[in-house]
Structure 1
């Protein structure tokens, strides 16, 4: 069995830095692999995708991710698992987009209480019978952490089933259905994929997403593969089932560089969707005198100049005592060179329509918010805080909830007063308690979260 795997694709245009990616070059690489494998084995490879395509991206601001229907269908995706960003425009919108795709979408451990169905209409399991008689069982699993990030879904309307317990159940069902090989498509962080591999021996291989760095790990004879992001990487996985039932695996990594030719058909799709936006996005809105670091591994683990830049602008506009932004706000996952700063750069960094709001917090609530922000370090989680008006240190080795070093916590240069009220500028998303910031959901709101200025507009105006 041969499998082609990729995950977490946002921008369909290529970037300047190698590997440049881009849907057109990626499609060329994909088609070449499909052709070569089919010619070599006599059977087409299985194409699978591990979530996140409808958002966030510059184009999604205009299409709400609908352009990805045509893109994924052109890539001939067979099976996929939902990612958290599939729901950025609502559950109903996600379900409609998925219905229009030719691929089968899985999500077997989150129940929508409103419908009593799997969230988004995802299937629990799927079996594919190959021409050689091999039966492949697939299941889709996600982690609980990203349920807190869903801006359009009330967490109370969702029933989460532990991915290990659910994985055991569904994998056993697939084995009972005659599956020779069980593959889990997941959209969760490495530690959770590792736990799944250790705890569910019926799963032969995990093809994951959510993390954006390419990686392969073997845990207790179960392989976990994550294939990068943004059309920059592709994995070819060849599996051989021996007579004793053991599985031999060969993994080939492909990087989408400029040496890969663009596929003409996909290039037309890309040009059609991007031509309308190109002229306006190329407009220079300012000049920056230093590189701005928006790499996920940086902005989701420490103070960065990009985080400071945006947070300080929010402080200037709102005149709040404190600014707190969840680092999942910053979507570019790259370094932005000094020089002309174009509208395209801004929309790459801040593609999501986030409204700026001002709320009133007590010192105690501010401390709770910061504790939440650093609670999952060293995972590169989007809840990590970028701030202005407040300084603090934290110990990542301390228990979650007790990581902030209290003596370092200062607001406007003064020690935090737990009983005092402070004004905080943040995003409506955070103020509603998303990304684990539940301590802020009951705070008094000074500005309307549904009609406040967009964060990208605030930065552009600055």
Structure 2
């Protein structure tokens, strides 16, 4: 791997007010850095209940920046995808995170890292987002796979191509002249195996980079996007870290492991973590304080950022209206939050997946078995009440119809077996509760009766699943001899778009 010259990537983010200040007193050797941290943000606008939104994130940063110019806004991965916007186009091109980068630019984002979902989009689309961003990126263990091997991702700005650095050093100073240097590294879990991405081992890479940085800075912060258990391992192996600011779980997490604080805010900027690093150069010590801030109506919307948010919201609303949706209409008022987190729905049924299956059953009442690939659900979030049509769209941004077919039991069992083998990926199958696996008899049953090889069953399934394009389920297509009959779907029928079927189900069953 080509060695990067670190000094070429050091960015000196010293605000003019700090640079021009006349010392008010003797340098006391103490200085504070404030980090406003968000992670796993897919929505630029406030969600149901009027919480979150990039305009509130921007406002929060400004509040702290007014008190301390040494304030940075950081994004701990997952913001380009998944998003309902990724199913839309604007100016003749798929949006693919463009709305988020524009909002982050206006909001004053300072530093971002790759999450696993950044690699959901095409290589060319990611390159466009990198080029559009005016904030900095750091990528310690994630590289671009090229014909020359692993190389740093690059960003083109003002006609100049710049590699994304493996670390960044931020220099800060205060009114009495204290100067400190803080190094930032990033770790991304090797979850998305896109062909254009290559990962180095997270832990060994972090240890190597810390060793390279430690003697040239006063503190090292790791911004991570990985499981909490991996963050714990990182803290146990590198207790000298000033902070681990993480993402990935979508739920708030806070732990202190081996003296290192690990912070993760709620997804979609429902909250933000505000961390103050108190650096004492004379004592060679670092003290950290972490405070969780709820981004509700008590935090005003930043007007400049809100202009960008409303621009993209209007673009999306117009697109939804053209395909028959009223994005602001409430379809479910009360109930438990619906769990659409990827790690959950790709390994077990959740209350969200159960509701979707019930909606499919209601739309196809003659079907004996309902099948849905978990990868059809892209929200990777917990949907709070009240649920709007927009929530349904963002849960299943690509829509698609519900196809009914008659198939032999032998094929049905083959499909169900493979669905279980697909646990953890998008091809994991969700099905109605009448279908069960009898572990004692080692057989699939329908309504407590064994599924018979030669018996014909009526099945409702997503049209994508029936296309043969799902991982390890290529045999599931209309050419398979186990398919006896397919049923036509009228365009005016809820079967023509699974999202309309879900909306109708919620309207028929208000809770």
What's 2:279 paired with? 241
What's 1:88 paired with? 120
Rg larger in 1 or in 2? 2
Query: In structure 1, how many angstroms separate the alpha carbons of the residues matched to 2:40 and 2:466?
Result: 23
What's 2:383 paired with? 334
User: Which shifted more, 263-272 or 194-203?
Assistant: 194-203
Q: 1:201 deviation in Å?
A: 3.5
The answer to whether 1:173 aligns with 2:212 is yes
**Unaligned regions of 5+ residues in structure 2, if any?**
1-32, 89-94, 155-163, 481-488, 505-511
What's 2:62 paired with? 31
Distance 1:270 1:295, change over 3 A: same
Once the two structures are superposed, what CA deviation does each residue of 1:316-352 show, in whole Å capped at 9, x if it has no partner?
Answer: 6696956143275344522444xxx854232132235
Count of aligned pairs between the two proteins: 422
CA RMSD, Structure 1 to Structure 2 (Å): 4.2
The answer to whether 1:123 aligns with 2:165 is yes
Distance 1:271 1:165, change over 3 A: same
The answer to whether 1:59 aligns with 2:92 is no
| TM alignment of 1:30-429, pairs within 5 A | 30-38=61-69, 44-62=70-88, 63-115=95-147, 116-118=149-151, 120-121=153-154, 122-131=164-173, 132-144=178-190, 146-148=191-193, 153-154=194-195, 158-176=197-215, 178-242=216-280, 243-278=282-317, 280=321, 281-282=325-326, 291=335, 293-296=337-340, 300=345, 303-312=349-358, 323-326=371-374, 329-331=378-380, 333-337=382-386, 343-352=389-398, 363=413, 366-367=416-417, 369-370=419-420, 372-373=422-423, 386-388=430-432, 391-392=435-436, 410-413=444-447, 414-415=449-450, 425=461
Once the two structures are superposed, what CA deviation does each residue of 1:407-448 show, in whole Å capped at 9, x if it has no partner?
Answer: 6863433447899999894685999998xxx6x265454489
Is residue 468–residue 475 contact of structure 2 (8 Å, CA) maintained in 1? no
What is the TM-score of this pair, normalised by structure 2?
A: 0.69
Once the two structures are superposed, what CA deviation does each residue of 1:248-301 show, in whole Å capped at 9, x if it has no partner?
Answer: 111122111112222221222222221244362426999669747423479647
User: Which shifted more, 311-320 or 22-31?
Assistant: 311-320
User: Which shifted more, 194-203 or 409-418?
Assistant: 409-418
**Unaligned regions of 5+ residues in structure 1, if any?**
39-43, 376-380, 394-403
Distance 1:190 1:276, change over 3 A: same
Secondary structure in structure 2 of the residue aligned to 1:64: coil
Distance 1:124 1:284, change over 3 A: closer
What is the TM-score of this pair, normalised by structure 1?
A: 0.76
Distance 1:260 1:392, change over 3 A: same
Distance 1:133 1:286, change over 3 A: closer
